[in-house]
Amino acid sequence: MAQTIMITGATAGIGKATAEKFAQNGYRLILTGRRQERLESLAADLDAETLLLNFDVRDPQAVQAAIDGLPPEWQDIDILFNNAGLAVGVGPLQEGVVDDWERMIDTNVKGLLYVSRAVTPLMVKRKSGHVINIASIAGKQVYPGGNVYCATKHAVDALSQGMRIDLLPYGIKVTNLAPGLVETEFSVVRFKGDQNRADAVYTDMKPLTGPDIADVAFFVANTPAHVTINDILVMPTAQASAFHIHRTNE
């Protein structure tokens, strides 16, 4: 039977591109997100077997119910692509908006935990599987205004290390995949719908795209059984660090 990948946050950006890449390569897909209509239109465009799950990763009961309700033929999840996440705001900590902090912590840290808690027992039972956690350069370095978002991605980095140790006896791979700037809906969300501020993030430089990260994810997922990419940092050539971006107008 074809391998099955479950992708959280498949309705946009990196998750959507990863769905397309794995669909093109014969995988069965469990696609999740909050925007049901986007899940349906993505599934309609893919030449692949899909199962759609509509839940908010911040809701532990909804996450567990979705996994508990998987039909038997969808329970053998080979790859969990923990991707759903967001940044909200760029203000200094002393002016921080508590609701923004909670959205980031609840989604990027607790949501990733809820999904992992629900799915990894299925992998443990089969003594097989691969968890790919989408982290970030923001999980390696902290930049001005990044405070809470960076903290959540540092947490993802730590959770990848912890999961790798806990899942070691079961032969389950854990990869921490950390991108630099990727042009998706990420910055529009971060700037609360301000398209001009979002566009400015990528101006005069060539950012990564969702398909670039999907290609890396596909490579990471297809190493031989005895080989695991533990941690991979993928940057645009025009970005050396969180602080060094080469813009052609500078």
**Closest among 232, 17, 5, 11 to 136, alpha carbons compared:** 232
Q: Which is nearer to ligand 8X3, 90 or 124 (CB)?
A: 90
d(CA 249, CA 227): 42
Question: Contact 36/55 with Cβ under 8 angstroms?
Answer: no
Q: In this structure, what token pair is assigned to residue 51?
A: 């199962």
Q: How far is the CB of 58 from ligand NDP (least distance, A)?
A: 5
Burial class of 161 by CB neighbour count within 10 A (0 to 12, 13 to 18, 19+):
middle
Contact status: 235 vs ligand 8X3 (CB under 6 A): no
Contact status: 137 vs ligand 8X3 (CB under 6 A): yes
Question: Contact 12/86 with Cβ under 8 angstroms?
Answer: no
Contact with ligand NDP (CB under 6 A) among 42, 84, 109, 123: 84
Contact status: 129 vs ligand NDP (CB under 6 A): no
Please identify, among the stretches 7-15, 157-165, 192-200, 235-243, the one whose residues bind ligand NDP according to the rule CB under 6 A: 7-15
Q: In this structure, what token pair is assigned to residue 145?
A: 């205004």
The H-assigned helical ranges of the chain are 13-24, 36-45, 60-68, 98-104, 112-126, 147-167, 186-190, 195-201, 210-221
Q: What residues are labeled active site?
A: 149
Contact status: 181 vs ligand NDP (CB under 6 A): yes
CB atoms inside a 10 Å sphere around CB 146: 19
- The one-letter amino acid code at 93 reads L
What does 34 interact with, of ligand 8X3, ligand NDP, none (CB < 5 to 8 A by kind)?
ligand NDP
The 5-34 contact track toward ligand 8X3, x by CB under 6 A, reads ------------------------------
- Give counts: helices (H), strands (E), the chain: 9, 9
| Look-up of token digits 């990848």 | 160
Contact with ligand NDP (CB under 6 A) among 30, 134, 151, 205: 134
Contact status: 89 vs ligand NDP (CB under 6 A): no
Q: In this structure, what token pair is assigned to residue 110?
A: 């607790």
Q: Which is nearer to ligand NDP, 57 or 123 (CB)?
A: 57
Q: How far is the CB of 242 from ligand 8X3 (least distance, A)?
A: 6
What does 242 interact with, of ligand 8X3, ligand NDP, none (CB < 5 to 8 A by kind)?
ligand 8X3
Contact status: 63 vs ligand 8X3 (CB under 6 A): no
Q: How far is the CB of 181 from ligand 8X3 (least distance, A)?
A: 6
Q: In this structure, what token pair is assigned to residue 129?
A: 């599987």
Contact status: 15 vs ligand NDP (CB under 6 A): yes
Burial class of 221 by CB neighbour count within 10 A (0 to 12, 13 to 18, 19+):
buried
Q: Which is nearer to ligand 8X3, 150 or 172 (CB)?
A: 150
